Amino acid sequence: MTFVQIATLSFMQGFTELLPISSSGYMIIAAWVLGWDPPSAAFDATVHLGSLLALVLFFRRDWMLILRTLRRSRTIPLGGDDDLMSMQTLERHRRIGDMRRRLSIRMSMPSINLLKAVGLGSLPAIAIGAALYPLLTSETMRAPGVAAGMFIVTGGALLLGHHFTNLRLTGKDRRTRSKVIEYTDALIVGFAQAAALIPGISRSAVTITAALTRGMPLVVAVRFSYLLSVPVIAIASIVSFVQILASPSESLPDLDELGIGFAISFVASYIAINLFMWLVRRMGTLTLWPFAVFTAATGAIVLAVVYGG
C-alpha cells in the first residue's frame, strides 16, 4: 500500500472504531469508492491494536481497579444522571422538572462484579465469531451493499437509543433508580455486540442502545460499551495474527507499514473516544441522533449507487 492508502485507512478505522458509525463498513465502502484493494488481515489486526491501546489508556484507572480485584474488590464509580446533560442544555430544552432529584443519581458497583460482567458480556461475540468466522469474512458479507444496508440498521439502533435517553430524561423510565449492571444486562449487551460482527453494524451503537434499553444511564451505557470491547478486540487481533503466522500463503506487510498504521489508528482512536465522551457529557440525549441520521443517510446513498446503476 502507498502512504496515502495507509494513512487514510488507518485513520478511518481508528476514528470510526470508537464512534457509533461502524469502522468495518466505512473501510469496505472507502476501498470500494477509491478502487483500492482491501487491506491485508495483518494490517487490519494491527490498526485494531491501535484502537485497543487507546481504549486501555483512556480507561486505565478503571482497568487498574478491575485488575486489582485479584487482591481486593473495590467500588468503581460508573457515572449517572449528573453526567447525562449539562444544566444549560437541560434548560434550553425545557426538561428541567425536579432537576435536583434527577441529577443526583449515580451508579457504582464492586470491581469484581464489573469484571465478571465484562467477561460474561464478551462471550457471545467470541463464541459466535468463532463459529461463523468463514461466513463473516466471506466476500459476500464484505460487499458494499451489505455494509450500506447495515448502516441503516445502525441508524435505527441509534434512534432507538435516543428514544430511551429521552424517556429517562423526562422521568418516564423509572427503572434505573437503584440499578447497577446485572449479569443479565451484560449478556444482552454481549449479544448485541455479537451482531456487530456483521460489517456495517456499529459495535458501539448497538451495545449502547442495548444498555439503554436495560435502563442504564447514557454515560454508564457508553462506559460499559467501551470496556466490553477490550476483550473482543484483543482476542480477535491475537487470533488474526496466529492465523497469519500459521498460513504459509499469507505474506506479512512491511513492518514500517504496520507501524505507521498502528500509530495513526491509535491517535485517531484516542481523539475519537475523547470527543465522544465529551459529547455525551455535554449534549446527553442529543448525542445519538446526529450519528443516526448520518449513518442511515450514508447507507441509503451507497445503496442507491450500488443498486441504482
Q: What is the pLDDT of residues 125-172, one digit of tens each?
A: 999 988 988 888 788 888 899 999 999 999 999 999 888 777 666 555
In this prediction the pTM is 0.85
Tell me the pLDDT band of 270, cut-offs 50, 70 and 90. Answer: very high
CA 247 to chain centroid, in Å, comes to 30
In three state form, how does the secondary structure of 81-149 look? Answer: HHHCCCHHHHHHCCCCCCHHHHCCCEEEEEHHHHHHHHHHHHHHHHHHHHHCHHHHCCCCCCCHHHHHH
CB 124, CB 190: distance < 8 Å: yes
Tell me the pLDDT band of 251, cut-offs 50, 70 and 90. Answer: low
Q: What is the pLDDT of residue 97?
A: 44
Ranges 12-16, 58-62, 172-176, 219-223: which has the least confidence: 172-176
Q: Which residue has the cell 464489573?
A: 114
Q: How large is the average pLDDT for residues 26-48?
A: 84
Tell me 284's DSSP state.
Answer: G
SS3 295: helix
89 has pLDDT over 50: no
Residues 94 and 5: their CA atoms lie apart, in Å, by 47
Q: What is the pLDDT of residue 155?
A: 93
Q: What is the dihedral of CA 194, 200, 203, 205, to 10 degrees?
A: -130
Other beta carbons within 10 angstroms of residue 40's beta carbon come to 17
Altogether, the residues listed in the chain come to a count of 309
Ranges 134-138, 170-174, 228-232, 238-242: which has the least confidence: 170-174
What pairing do the DSSP bridges indicate for beta strands 106-110 and 75-80?
antiparallel
High-pLDDT (> 90) share of the chain, %? 33
Residues 26 and 159: their CA atoms lie apart, in Å, by 20
CB 299, CB 152: distance < 8 Å: yes
- The set of cell numbers assigned to 91 is 434548560
Q: What is the pLDDT of residue 107?
A: 67
Residue 246 Ramachandran class (φ > 0 left, ψ -120 to 50 alpha, else beta): alpha
Alpha helices in 170-247 (DSSP H): 183-195, 203-213, 218-246
Q: What is the pLDDT of residue 182?
A: 86
